[in-house]
Amino acid sequence: MAVIRINDLKVRTIIGAHDWERVNQQELIINMTIEYDASKACRSDDLKDALNYEAVALKVIKITRRSRYALLERLAGRILGSVMSDRRVQAAGVRIDKPHAISQARCVSVEVNGDRARV
Amino acid sequence: MTGGAKRLGRQVALHLARQGYQIALHYHNSKVEAMATAAAIYKMGVRCELFPCDLADETQVLKLMPEVFQAFRHLNILVNSASIFIPNRFGAGDLKLFKTHWDLNFKAPYILSCEFARLVKKGQVINFIDTNVVKNKTSYADYLMTKKALMEFTKMAAVQWGPHIRVNGVSPGMILPPVNGQPDDRSQRAGKIPLRKTGDPHHILQTVQFLLENDYITGQIIANDGGENLV
């Protein structure tokens, strides 16, 4: 099993329940872990056999930019669902940091996890 | 608007917001103050988005203007207000302070202005300089060098980017109390300048307003200092 980690992916979008959050985009920082069976890719050195993390990241950026959710939980769940829709993915975790949720805190985070074995 | 979280930068951001300008507010360490400034702007019903960025980090600075432009397609003003000023005298013993001054006070506004001119079809850059740039005091040697360079850049950029982009500077004098625990000797110093008084943020806002409205001015540095630069 291989673990892909996408660290500190920064995306601006509309997110939040406050009035000002409905008209002002803010930066979110997304961290993900994706577990998949990479044994074939380890042998072949062929991108076709690997989980293309660049494509995953671009999809996550697209989903996030287009989203207009009130809750981080909803966005994190949406991203997790997208990642898990690739049948090769065995487990994944998505953590979203919202730096401007609370001024005195560095950020507020919501994390969701999925594990195909537990479904 | 760089350095818009507090002090004069905040005043300028609020002034522009009052006139309905949407604000892209940069901050680095002053998150609490930046969010407070943004909250004050939201109360006016004006859009304000926060852009955290370490202006001493070239990689981050290069990304900043394209990010802002993506969010604000009708970008038309760049205010370079962020700066540091730490007392020192020339000496090669510790170049860290030299580098930080140049990165933050000159390189960052240079990069942001160049990116602004590249992305924006018509607009204006306002650089915050310092009334002491016409003098040669050495108590803030590295700081003053960077501001002198920014003054010359303001003039040269005005030549290169006209007619579509105007580039001007504002040189504040004794407007706000000093930071970094420096003693506030403004009232004592004010007695030695032609207008015999300290200034107020509204003087700076009047100058900014004048520069915004007068489209026949470029490459000028307006000293807002009660005549301090003359003596």
| Per-residue confidence band for A25, with pLDDT thresholds at 50, 70 and 90 | very high
Q: Give the range of the structural domain holding residue A33, as residue numbers without chain letter.
A: 2-118
| Residue B22: closest C-alpha in chain A | A24
Mean pLDDT on A36-57: 96
Q: What is the pLDDT along chain B (231 residues), one digit of tens a residue?
A: 999 999 999 999 999 999 999 999 999 999 999 999 999 999 999 999 999 999 999 999 999 999 999 999 999 999 999 999 988 999 877 799 999 999 999 999 999 999 999 999 899 999 999 999 999 999 999 999 999 999 999 999 999 999 999 999 999 999 988 777 777 888 888 889 999 999 999 999 999 999 999 999 999 999 999 999 999
| Residue A22: closest C-alpha in chain B | B47
Interface predicted TM-score (ipTM) of this complex, two decimals: 0.82
Q: Which of B31, B50, B70 sits opposite A26 (nearest CB)?
A: B50
Number of domains in chain A: 1
CB contact under 8 A, A23 and B47: yes
| Closest CA–CA distance from residue B51 to any residue of chain A (Å) | 8
CB contact under 8 A, B52 and A25: no
Distance of alpha carbon A50 from alpha carbon A87, whole angstroms? 13
Write the single-letter amino acid at A88. Answer: R
Looking at residue B8, what is its pLDDT?
94
**What sign does the CA torsion over B185, B186, B188, B192 have?**
positive
Among residues B49, B29, B30, the alpha carbon closest in space to that of B39 is found at B49
- Are the C-beta atoms of residues A29 and A99 closer than 8 Å to each other? yes
Looking at residue B5, what is its pLDDT?
95
Mean pLDDT on A6-18: 97
Among residues B23, B50, B46, B47, the alpha carbon closest in space to that of B35 is found at B50
Distance of alpha carbon B217 from alpha carbon A73, whole angstroms? 51
Looking at residue B179, what is its pLDDT?
77
Looking at residue B182, what is its pLDDT?
76
Looking at residue A105, what is its pLDDT?
93
Looking at residue B2, what is its pLDDT?
97
Domains of chain B in start order, with CATH, are 53-191+210-230 (3.40.50.720)
Distance of alpha carbon B169 from alpha carbon B223, whole angstroms? 8
Interface test with B, best of A103, A107, A108 (most B CBs within 10 A): A103
- Are the C-beta atoms of residues A32 and A83 closer than 8 Å to each other? yes
CB contact under 8 A, B36 and A25: no
- Domain of A19, CATH number, reads 3.30.1130.10
Q: How many CB contacts within 8 angstroms connect chain A with chain B?
A: 31
Among residues A14, A69, A63, A60, the alpha carbon closest in space to that of A34 is found at A60
| Per-residue confidence band for A119, with pLDDT thresholds at 50, 70 and 90 | low
Residue with tokens 């403004």: B186
Q: Which residues on chain A are in Cβ contact (under 8 Å) with B49?
A: 12, 24-26
